[in-house]
């Protein structure tokens, strides 16, 4: 069953139930109050008759009863054995209405010959000291006609209101379920056409359905962006791997043709194959690093003093690169919640990137300012063109692809550095000017000792 239909039936069923309950209560309350009011009126007449009987002078009992006889009714006095001794009526048939003697006052409604009668009985002390009943009987068919009229008014009103509520709930269900239907239709379109469709949000409101549609659109935006990045990543990876494979395959063909007769060709081919194989291995390692689980790094992070970590890494790379790398560490103890190997790799990537494009001195600084740790690597090399700076952290992006191949770059280093910084709850930013150098700054949250 569709959501709109369920909403329609639920709302209609609930309101009809409440309507029937309310109308039934109104009907029963009106019936009870009307009959009770009529019986109270008859009791009032009976009390007046009793007073008149006790104070009469020259009137007979029958005359007193006749004086207070109500229209379409009966008044009588009943002895203890149930025998009526004095009775007057507007209709002789009413004399056949049987009512029992009661010691206490009582009221009831009886049916006699398809007619309804209100009966009240009041005990009275007779002239001889015996207890008798003064009974008044009244035909209340007209009262029940009014009650029946009310019943039909309530029934017709309930039917009309139920129909109106059915239509209202139908439109309400359609209105409520429309965004969900659009969401379902959009999902089916995405599934069938393999496209990324959005839901048209006509107005910005704060209701849950509009929020649902807006959230879906944002999710589709992220999925599409992720898909495009993945597609670009696969394309770039294929392209990067295709070049060394082509070189290796070409030199293998050259070896088969000339390798056995020309040692110089064999040496050139083996050297090229070794170089391209090393490059492929490096590229593969970089790709694997990008695939490292964020959850794995999160679980292996720990509080540590990164000041000696930075110092040791800089000293080791200074010997390896044979570059003038200077460093400044603000204080001997700077605590951070890091994954040691990933943090060292982040620093190595930044230093490796600096030394590739700068023959001058490289400055490394580590500072702590309030709640933020700042790791900065500054070079005085060729710099990065302004138009290339927005893409510098994208995977496989190289400012100069020819120069990148000469320096052994894969275009993945800075992308990995950015990912490591974000996995540690921080960020990385860059500023650069051509022919003046570049500054890469990593900001990390500090950790208490």
Q: Where are the domains positioned within the chain?
A: 3-148, 208-289, 295-445
Mean pLDDT of 356-364: 87
* Nearest in space to 6 (alpha carbons), one of 127, 169, 154: 169
Encode pLDDT of 134-166 as tens digits.
889 888 888 888 989 999 999 998 889 888 888
Confidence (pTM):
0.47
Question: Does the structural domain 208-289 have CATH classification 1.10.287.130?
Answer: yes
Tell me the pLDDT tens digit for each residue of 255-270. 888 767 788 878 888 8
- Could you give phi then psi for residue 255, rounded to 5 degrees? -65, -45
Among the listed residues 293, 394, 375, the one whose alpha carbon sits nearest the alpha carbon of residue 334 = 375
More confident residue, 130 or 200: 130
Please spell the DSSP secondary structure of 125-144, one letter per residue: E-TTS-EEEEEEEEE-HHHH
Q: Which two tokens stand for residue 65?
A: 């009863």
If one counts every other C-beta atom within 10 angstroms of the C-beta of residue 446, the result is: 16
Average pLDDT value for residue range 355-361: 84
Q: How far apart are the first and last CA of the chain?
A: 60
Of 137, 138, 139, 135, the closest CA to residue 83 belongs to 135
**Nearest by Cα to 115 from 134, 85, 88, 90:** 90
Domain 3-148 coded CATH 3.90.1530.10:
no
Q: Which CATH class is domain 295-445?
A: alpha beta
Give buried/exposed letters for 327-359 (b at 16+ CB in 10 A, else e).
bebeeeebbbbbbeebbbbbbbbbbbbbbbbbe
């Amino acid at each position: 069953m569709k959501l709109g239909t369920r909403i329609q039936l639920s709302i209609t069923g609930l309101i009809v139930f409440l309507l029937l309950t309310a109308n039934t209560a109104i009907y029963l309350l009106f019936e009870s109050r009307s009959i009770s009011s009529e019986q109270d009126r008859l009791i009032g007449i009976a009390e007046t008759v009793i007073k008149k009987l006790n104070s009469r002078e020259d009137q007979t009992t029958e005359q007193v009863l006749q004086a207070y006889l109500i229209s379409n009714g009966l008044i009588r006095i009943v002895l203890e054995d149930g025998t009526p001794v004095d009775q007057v009526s507007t209709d002789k048939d009413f004399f056949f209405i049987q009512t029992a003697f009661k010691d206490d006052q009582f009221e009831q409604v009886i049916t006699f010959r398809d007619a309804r009668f209100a009966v009240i009985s009041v005990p009275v002390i007779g002239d001889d000291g015996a207890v008798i009943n003064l009974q008044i009987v009244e035909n209340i068919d007209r009262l029940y006609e009014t009650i029946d009229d009310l019943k039909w008014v309530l029934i017709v009103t309930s039917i009309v209101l139920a129909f109106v509520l059915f239509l209202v709930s139908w439109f309400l269900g359609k209105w409520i379920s429309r965004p969900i239907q659009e969401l379902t239709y959009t999902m089916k379109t995405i599934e069938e056409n393999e496209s990324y469709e959005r839901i048209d949000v006509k107005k910005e409101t704060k209701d849950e359905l509009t929020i649902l549609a807006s959230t879906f659109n944002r999710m589709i935006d992220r999925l599409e962006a992720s898909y495009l990045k993945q597609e670009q990543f696969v394309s770039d990876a294929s392209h990067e791997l295709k070049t060394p494979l082509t070189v290796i395959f070409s030199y293998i063909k050259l070896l088969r043709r000339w390798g056995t007769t020309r040692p110089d060709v064999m040496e050139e081919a083996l050297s090229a194959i070794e170089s391209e194989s090393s490059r492929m291995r490096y590229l593969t390692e970089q790709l694997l690093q990008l695939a490292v689980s964020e959850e794995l790094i999160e679980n292996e992070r720990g509080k540590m003093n990164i000041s000696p970590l930075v110092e040791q890494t800089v000293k080791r790379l200074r010997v390896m690169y044979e570059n003038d790398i200077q460093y400044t560490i603000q204080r001997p103890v700077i605590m951070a919640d890091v994954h040691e190997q990933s943090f060292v790799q982040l620093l190595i990537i930044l230093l490796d990137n600096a030394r590739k494009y700068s023959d001058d001195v490289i400055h490394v600084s580590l500072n702590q300012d309030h709640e933020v740790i700042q790791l900065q690597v500054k070079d005085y090399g060729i710099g990065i063109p302004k138009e290339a700076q927005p893409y510098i952290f994208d995977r496989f992006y190289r400012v100069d692809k020819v120069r990148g191949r000469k320096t052994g770059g894969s275009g993945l280093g800075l992308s990995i550095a950015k990912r490591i910084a974000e996995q540690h709850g921080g960020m990385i930013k860059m500023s650069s000017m051509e022919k003046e150098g570049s500054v890469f700054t990593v900001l990390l949250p500090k950790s208490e000792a």
